Amino acid sequence: MAEVRQAYADLRARGFACGCPVPPFEEVFPGTRTCGYARRRGEGGEDDFYCLPCAYERERADLKTALKYTAYLSIEERGGRAWYVTTWPGERLAEVTSIRRSVKHTWAGLKPWLYFRAVDLHGQAWIGQGEGEGTYCRLRRARGRA
Ligand SMILES: [Zn+2]
């Protein structure tokens, strides 16, 4: 808990780079895996803090021009299971359109691995891979539009 208090004190001292007010402690650290702010590497190489709505807006803007992207995979149960590519706090970036289960050879042996195709919020096609739900995935832009 001390680390979290210290992180909040740092956040209050530096403020959000987007200029939005820093919410109360309980909102920033609600006790779930998600904290109420995002970090992004700033111009000077140090991380800047952003509120989540502004961070999401920037991620969506980045996605438009990026050729490679790192995000997270999540499953939503909504009349069947559907896979999505999301930000760390779970905001949607792309919908997975097809998925292929495979294995990856690592120094420790084989591990389950997913290869997928996705279409982002801008209608752009991506090819991705990752370990599974709740873990990071890497994407690269597929040729042409979806
Ligand atoms: Zn903001």
Phi first, then psi: what are they for 137, rounded to 5°?
Answer: -140, 155
Query: What percentage of the chain exceeds 90 in pLDDT?
Result: 67
Q: How many A from CA of 108 to the centre of ligand 1?
A: 42
Which tops the pLDDT comparison, 75 or 32?
Answer: 75
Of the three residues 59, 93, 108, the one that is the final residue of a domain is: 59
Provide the pLDDT for residue 39.
86
The rounded distance, in Å, linking the Cα atoms of 99 and 114 is 7
Q: Are residues 33 and 70 in the same domain?
A: no
Number of domains in the chain: 2
Q: Mean pLDDT across the stretch 3-15?
A: 91
Tens digit of pLDDT for each residue in 34-70?
A: 678 888 887 778 889 999 999 999 999 999 999 999 9
Residue 33 has pLDDT above 80, yes or no: no
Instruction: Please name the residues in contact with 65: beta carbons below 8 A apart, sequence gap of 6 or more.
Output: none
Of the three residues 59, 80, 95, the one that is the final residue of a domain is: 59
Provide the pLDDT for residue 41.
80
What is the pLDDT of the chain when averaged over all its residues?
90
What is the domain range of residue 106?
66-145
Tens digit of pLDDT for each residue in 61-96?
A: 999 999 999 999 998 887 778 999 999 888 999 999
Q: Are residues 52 and 96 in the same domain?
A: no
Q: How many A from CA of 63 to the centre of ligand 1?
A: 18
- Beta-strand runs (E) in the chain: 37-41, 47-51, 68-77, 81-86, 92-106, 109-120, 124-130, 136-145
Q: How many A from CA of 106 to the centre of ligand 1?
A: 40
Q: Are residues 85 and 134 in the same domain?
A: yes
